Amino acid sequence: VKEQKAEERMSITIFLLFINETKIATINMIIKRKNMFKLIDKGVWKRKPYFDHYFNQIRCSYSITVNIDISKIIYFKNRNHTKLYPLLIYVLAKAVNNREEFRTAINDKGELGIWETLLPCYTVFHEENESFSNIWTEWDDNLMTFLSNYERDIEMFGNNYGIDAKPNTPANTFPISSLPWTTFTGFNLNIFADGSYLLPVFTYGKYFQQDGKYLIPLSIQVHHAVCDGFHVSRLINEIQQICNDIK
């Protein structure tokens, strides 16, 4: 009887180890899939002449600032007692992950491709010393899951100082910052580098009320090599639609 019970315990232990290894393998597979970088075959890429023009001949980025109606976002925040910032981050990440042109980048090997998924990397402000830090959060299309991921990261890393509060920032992140102290009608980042950064850069301002609506200024800076005014306009419309659909 003792030997039988020992064998049963051993079987249960092996089964639990198998389950844990399976979970770990599944998690690793999901992470690997999200980090996938699909190379672009420029020989058949329809955007090749525009990319060559705005990257190799006239390297060009541009920015646009618009007001986004976040009335539905404010209503959701008040009803569910959530924070505004993660909701605004979610909206941008969802819109960006819906469109390949805003996930097009050059990897650390100098290869042009498209990230399967982009994770938001956003600034948090430290009022006590008037500095900021960057934190990245794992993306999930499910709003409540993403909000949970955000809260966990803020709890773990929100009080860390320095540029990167959360270590090991993946390559597949895009930047979001916020200026909640002022509204603006124009905002531009003058980056003195080689101009090879292709991912979009977003900056929110202070929201305000106008004609019974809550509006927030949003600056979007992009590289002309991967997207034109049409693509940015479509992105803006989709950002607004996502805001409207938050329930």
**Active-site amino acid positions:** 224
Q: CA-CA distance, 190 to 212, in Å (whole number)?
A: 35
Contact present, 160 and 123 (Cβ < 8 Å): no
Chain CA centroid to CA 207, Å: 21
CA dihedral 25→151→245→177, nearest 10 degrees, is -100
Nearest CA among 244, 210, 231, 206 for reference residue 102: 231
Instruction: Sort residue 130 into left (φ over 0), alpha (ψ -120 to 50) or beta.
Output: left
What is the amino acid identity at position 208?
F
Q: Provide the token pair at 221.
A: 């800076």
Contact present, 202 and 121 (Cβ < 8 Å): no
Tracing tokens 């390297």 back to the chain, one arrives at: 59
Q: What is the DSSP letter of 106?
A: E
32, with CB counted inside 10 A (0-12, 13-18, 19+), is exposed
Helix/strand/coil percentages in the chain, nearest 5:
40, 25, 35
Q: How far is CA 71 from CA 76, 77, 241, in A?
A: 9, 10, 12
